[in-house]
Amino acid sequence: MRLSQLFGKTQREIPSEADTTSHQLLLRAGMIMQIAAGVYSYMPLGWRVLKKIENIIREEMDNAGGQELAMPVLQPVELWQQTGRDKSFGKGLFTLLDRRERTLVLGPTHEEVLTHMVSHHVQSYRDLPKLLYQIQTKFRDEPRPRGGLIRVREFIMKDLYSFDVDEDGLDASYQKMIQAYRNIYDRCELPVLLVEADSGAIGGKDSHEFMLVAGSGEDEVIRCDKCDYAANADKAVSAKRQIAPEKPLPLEEVATPGMKTIEELASFLNVPEDHTLKAVFYVADGQVVFAMIRGDLEVNEVKLQRLLKCTDLHMAAEAEVSEAGIAAGYASPMGLKNIKIVADDSVTEGINFVAGGNKPDTHIKNVNYPRDFKADIVADIARAAEGDGCPRCAGTLKSTPGIEIGHVFKLGIFLSTALGANFIDEKGDSRPIIMGCYGIGLGRLLAAVVEHYHDDKGIIWPLSIAPYQVYFCPLYREDANVSEVAEKLYAGLQSAGLEVLFDDREESPGVKFNDADLLGIPLRVTVSPRTLEKNSVEVKWRREKEAALVPVADAAARVKELIQSGKSRK
């Protein structure tokens, strides 16, 4: 490809709208272009990378026994109503009306359609297992698109769905996919962490995410410094600090004028924060819920939502709290009526807590569970945090930001039951098919590679997914000798089967080298009057500082060898 003819220009300025490194670099390199909020076009260079990622994913899915198919983007809303996921997706679901005023969904995922298809094409245990996948565009109306390709509203995704007769089969499919995903990241040269994840609203069992540790990541990974425990912060559990035993003391009302936060209260009364009770009010599907937790801990809303099995959960506004007859800032679990109380298990293990007095400027000391109050549900609803104890060993938990670049999920029978995807087992009984789903967003994976592989000059593509393998860069092409050697070598490199981006522009060496670094093509080959004095061309890996000279005569063969060795290095 001659660079002078390439559609798309590099830009030197850092685009002001770009909020992550990958977003900046992909825009500056002319690989993507934003068309609307969270909606991007891929320019030719970016599209070549995406196609290479797609091919790697396709090969690994096929190797694992997957069968590729295609499903429609336009989906009847009735399928979504059958599973109730029109509600759990809520506003994230793009819908439209056709000319007959029928509602259609722009598919955010394809479990409904595929399970519907499977219900027609699978009858017996002999038809199972099946691993079916598609690579196509999906839509989600994200409230806050960000990070360029990291969080978008239209995206290309590979989804594989597994259909098995029993749990053992599901386990086998799940392990197969985890291995296939490891192969994919390995081929993209991305080091990933497999972390436990929240299994979502539809009540699946196991769920894991593949995380790339990255400063710009919007997920939080909690991991142990001693063992291999790692989980998304939404899901992570920790060993809560033990409170030394004390004798329960009698209740005592104390005046606490103006003390509304835990910090203020603890320092005013001179008690540690773990001897206070924090009250947080939520509205779960329209109902006010009182969540209690030890003052030194935070409520994990994902855990709370899962526990309450509600589709909507948000912090209650002050008006909603006082409407329920509660003094905001001084709420007490004692004497509460008609409000569901959810207590973190830390509350039941501590002793002599300070709690709200349920009237302004008042708290109660020495509140004890269950002597002084009851809870409707006691469970772990705490957010695990850096410095907490590991739930599995004596290690300490660390927190790190990460980008989720893959998600595997044991769905179970929720969807197959809702959509009537059953099979006849060996005994002649009809049973629901057991499902799993496994997703990778291609654009996000591409962006994650850039987040991981770049320097202050630009992108550093791994060879396996680089838009071109060789950046061929003749300098001073007005020199007849350079021009002649360049044209011959360009032809030679191409006939050696190499993917070459030929910088045939009339630009200065500085501009050409800057663009070479920005675009991140793995190997740069330079011809100039100076290299030709030594009858040579210069070769340099993007990720290395040193360059080397190679004789012109066998330059194409040597470059090919280098690319081959670069491939085998990874």
User: Between residues 395 and 420, which has the closer beta carbon with respect to Zn ion?
Assistant: 395
Nearest to 423 by CA among 414, 432, 434: 432
Q: Which stretch binds Zn ion (CB under 5 A): 26-34, 220-228, 351-359, 465-473?
A: 220-228
User: Between residues 15 and 389, which has the closer beta carbon with respect to Zn ion?
Assistant: 389
User: Between residues 213 and 262, which has the closer beta carbon with respect to Zn ion?
Assistant: 213
Determine the Cα–Cα distance for residues 368 and 332; give it in Å rounded to an integer: 12
Name the token pair of 385.
């945090």
Tell which one of 89, 94, 133, 229 touches Zn ion (CB under 5 A).
Answer: 229
Tell which one of 180, 224, 437, 449 touches Zn ion (CB under 5 A).
Answer: 224
With beta carbons less than 8 A apart as the criterion, state whether 344 and 380 touch: yes
Per-residue interface string for the shown chain with Zn ion, residues 130-169, x marking contact by CB under 5 A: ----------------------------------------
CB of 391 to Zn ion, least distance (A): 7
User: Between residues 395 and 401, which has the closer beta carbon with respect to Zn ion?
Assistant: 395
Of the CA atoms within 13 Å of residue 337, those in its CB half-sphere come to: 1
Nearest to 72 by CA among 104, 37, 97, 40: 104
User: Between residues 253 and 386, which has the closer beta carbon with respect to Zn ion?
Assistant: 386
Q: Which stretch binds Zn ion (CB under 5 A): 15-23, 229-237, 328-336, 486-494?
A: 229-237
With beta carbons less than 8 A apart as the criterion, state whether 561 and 554 touch: no
Nearest to 20 by CA among 125, 167, 130, 152: 152
Q: Which stretch binds Zn ion (CB under 5 A): 218-226, 289-297, 333-341, 560-568?
A: 218-226
CA distances to 159, 394, 486 from 531, in Å = 50, 61, 12
CB of 222 to Zn ion, least distance (A): 11
Close Cβ partners of 278 (under 8 Å, ≥ 6 residues apart): 262, 292, 293, 294, 295, 297, 299
CB of 410 to Zn ion, least distance (A): 24
CB of 395 to Zn ion, least distance (A): 4
Q: Which stretch binds Zn ion (CB under 5 A): 46-54, 57-65, 82-90, 226-234?
A: 226-234
DSSP H or E run through 347: helix 345-349
Inter-axis angle of helices 442-452 and 21-28, to 10 degrees? 100
Helices (H), 130-279: 167-187, 262-269
User: Between residues 170 and 224, which has the closer beta carbon with respect to Zn ion?
Assistant: 224
The dihedrals phi and psi of 385, each to the nearest 5 degrees, come to -135, 160
How many residues touch Zn ion (CB under 5 A)? 8
Determine the Cα–Cα distance for residues 359 and 361; give it in Å rounded to an integer: 7
User: Between residues 87 and 226, which has the closer beta carbon with respect to Zn ion?
Assistant: 226
* Contact set for Zn ion, span 375-404 (CB under 5 A): 390, 392-393, 395
Cβ atoms within 10 A of the Cβ of 118, count?
24
CB of 237 to Zn ion, least distance (A): 11
37 is an interface residue for Zn ion by CB under 5 A: no
Determine the Cα–Cα distance for residues 249 and 232; give it in Å rounded to an integer: 39
249 is an interface residue for Zn ion by CB under 5 A: no
CB of 303 to Zn ion, least distance (A): 20
* Contact set for Zn ion, span 83-112 (CB under 5 A): none
With beta carbons less than 8 A apart as the criterion, state whether 397 and 221 touch: no
User: Between residues 224 and 381, which has the closer beta carbon with respect to Zn ion?
Assistant: 224
Q: Which stretch binds Zn ion (CB under 5 A): 228-236, 435-443, 517-525, 549-557?
A: 228-236
Q: Which stretch binds Zn ion (CB under 5 A): 118-126, 221-229, 294-302, 524-532?
A: 221-229
Q: Which stretch binds Zn ion (CB under 5 A): 132-140, 224-232, 328-336, 498-506?
A: 224-232
CB of 397 to Zn ion, least distance (A): 8
Answer left, alpha or beta for residue 52, where phi above 0 means left and psi between -120 and 50 means alpha: alpha
Determine the Cα–Cα distance for residues 495 and 517; give it in Å rounded to an integer: 25
CB of 211 to Zn ion, least distance (A): 17
Q: What is the DSSP letter of 5?
A: G
User: Between residues 390 and 498, which has the closer beta carbon with respect to Zn ion?
Assistant: 390
CB of 231 to Zn ion, least distance (A): 11
Name the token pair of 495.
């006939």
The dihedrals phi and psi of 287, each to the nearest 5 degrees, come to -100, 135
CB of 226 to Zn ion, least distance (A): 5
With beta carbons less than 8 A apart as the criterion, state whether 133 and 161 touch: yes
Close Cβ partners of 509 (under 8 Å, ≥ 6 residues apart): 475, 476, 528
Q: What is the DSSP letter of 384?
A: P
Helices (H), 154-221: 167-187
Q: Which residue type is seen at 361? A: D
CB of 273 to Zn ion, least distance (A): 25
User: Between residues 91 and 226, which has the closer beta carbon with respect to Zn ion?
Assistant: 226
Tell which one of 14, 37, 227, 491 touches Zn ion (CB under 5 A).
Answer: 227
User: Between residues 128 and 195, which has the closer beta carbon with respect to Zn ion?
Assistant: 195
User: Between residues 236 and 342, which has the closer beta carbon with respect to Zn ion?
Assistant: 236
User: Between residues 220 and 503, which has the closer beta carbon with respect to Zn ion?
Assistant: 220
Q: Contact positions toward Zn ion, by CB under 5 A?
A: 224, 226-227, 229, 390, 392-393, 395
